[in-house]
Homo-oligomer: A and B are copies of this chain.
Amino acid sequence: MSFHELPTPTLLLEKEKLMANIARMQASADRLGVKLRPHLKTLKAAKAAEALIASGASGVTVSTLKEAEYFLGHDIKNITYAVGMVPAKLADVADLMARGADIKIMTDCLEVAQAIAAEADKDGTAYKVLIEIDCGDNRGGLRPGSDEALLIADIIDKSNAYFEGVLTHAGHSYGVNSRSAIEKIAEQERDSVVQTATRLRAAGYEVNTVSVGSTPTGLHAKDLSGVTELRAGVYTVFDMDQQSRGVCEIKDIALSVLTSVIGHNKAAGKILLDAGGLALSKDRGADKFRPEVGYGQVCNSSGIAIPGLYVTSVSQEHGHVAIRSENDFKLLPVGSRLRILPIHACMTAAAYDYFNMIENGVVCEKWSRVNGW
């Protein structure tokens, strides 16, 4: 089936670009001498996880326990749930472990560590626990090398739970757009967990996992000495957010939304699309470096970017494209089809239950994905 016949809006994933992106990050991990544990929060698709593992990935990272359950259901067992644990979710983790998952959980909180230890001692579940470190992103995590890391390791170590190691995420690497700035943050990311692991080891704790990761730092780190694994996700498909930061080129973006032109508002100088805020997401992540890109880069139906045409505003089911000149109305008649390169692939993909996998302009497969919680 030609993708030109698909009902719109729908999600296209170009398989060749996906596989090239997968190979690129795997090569980076290999070069740096670390395992790669891709973050499946972007693709949330078993077929994608299988392709990643076939290319050398050691396991997967997930952002929800629903993803963990879904991947376990597809026989992918080596899973890190990289969002802070709360006691109420432990029963679900224990259930996944009982069903065969080798799942690692994470906290930066003494009280949660105590709850994990208590549960482990009560039911014998050997929860594997990572300590989250904040390397500068100011989201979750303890400050590098902090005393609390020792206290958490101690609480876990004395219980039936298992102290696994340390993890950080350089989310602030999305806030810069030069190679040298990314390299600097990659070193900060590395140092934050390595110094914490060193302190933990000096205090007698075994630290098996020293985990870092983000797409920019994963591609541009110069050295990951002391690190055991790299996590990243959006590199698999890239998006305009990453393009705006110089982390990828337009040609690397594997994900797009196929849309129809549904109207011309000549008085307002706008072309209207059937891909709006739900089909594209309302993420404005490219604003910092490329505000003109708005809600997405407009491409022709073959995926070639049309210079100067962007989704300038959205309502729920309408994308608005400010024309460059009246000629755009002739170029893009009502009923014609376009592709939109998303601002933030993880957010855009979450509106869809599957990817139309495109190979040589044809829908070769549908890859289902899991959403929600």
Contacts and interface: CB of A to CB of B under 8 A. Distances in A.
Interface in A25-61: 41
A92 B7 contact: yes
B115 A84 contact: no
Nearest to A146: B267
A96 interface: no
B86 A261 contact: yes
Contacts of A373: 7-10, 279
A160 interface: no
Given A10-B373, A318-B83, A265 B140 contact: yes
B139 A315 contact: yes
Nearest to A111: B334
A267 B7 contact: no
A352 to B, nearest CB: 6
Interface in A61-115: 63-65, 83-89, 92, 107-109, 111-112, 115
B317 A64 contact: yes
Contacts of A141: 263, 265
Contacts of A139: 265, 268, 270, 272, 315, 318, 320
Nearest to A275: B373
Where chain A touches its partner, the secondary structure class is loop
Interface string A246-281: 000000000000001111110110101010011101
Contacts of A115: 335
B282 A87 contact: no
B281 A41 contact: no
Given A63-B317, A278-B347, A373-B8, A140 B262 contact: yes
Q: How many copies does the complex hold?
A: 2
A15 to B, nearest CB: 22
Nearest to A109: B334
Nearest to A335: B86
Interface residues of A, number: 65
A283 B10 CA distance: 21
A108 B282 contact: no
Contacts of A65: 7
A341 interface: no
A138 B109 CA distance: 50
Contacts of A9: 373
A112 B282 contact: no
A333 interface: yes
Nearest to A284: B282
Contacts of A272: 84, 139-140
Nearest first, the 9 closest Cβ-Cβ pairs linking A and B are: A84-B262, A138-B268, A84-B263, A282-B282, A63-B317, A109-B334, A140-B263, A86-B335, A86-B260
26 contacts: A8-B88, A8-B373, A9-B373, A63-B316, A64-B317, A83-B317, A84-B263, A86-B262, A86-B274, A86-B335, A88-B335, A134-B267, A139-B265, A139-B270, A139-B315, A139-B318, A140-B272, A143-B267, A171-B315, A277-B347, A278-B347, A279-B373, A281-B282, A282-B282, A350-B351, A352-B372
Interface of A: 7-10, 41, 63-65, 83-89, 92, 107-109, 111-112, 115, 132, 134, 138-141, 143, 171, 260-265, 267-268, 270, 272, 274, 277-279, 281-284, 315-318, 320, 333-335, 346-347, 350-353, 371-373
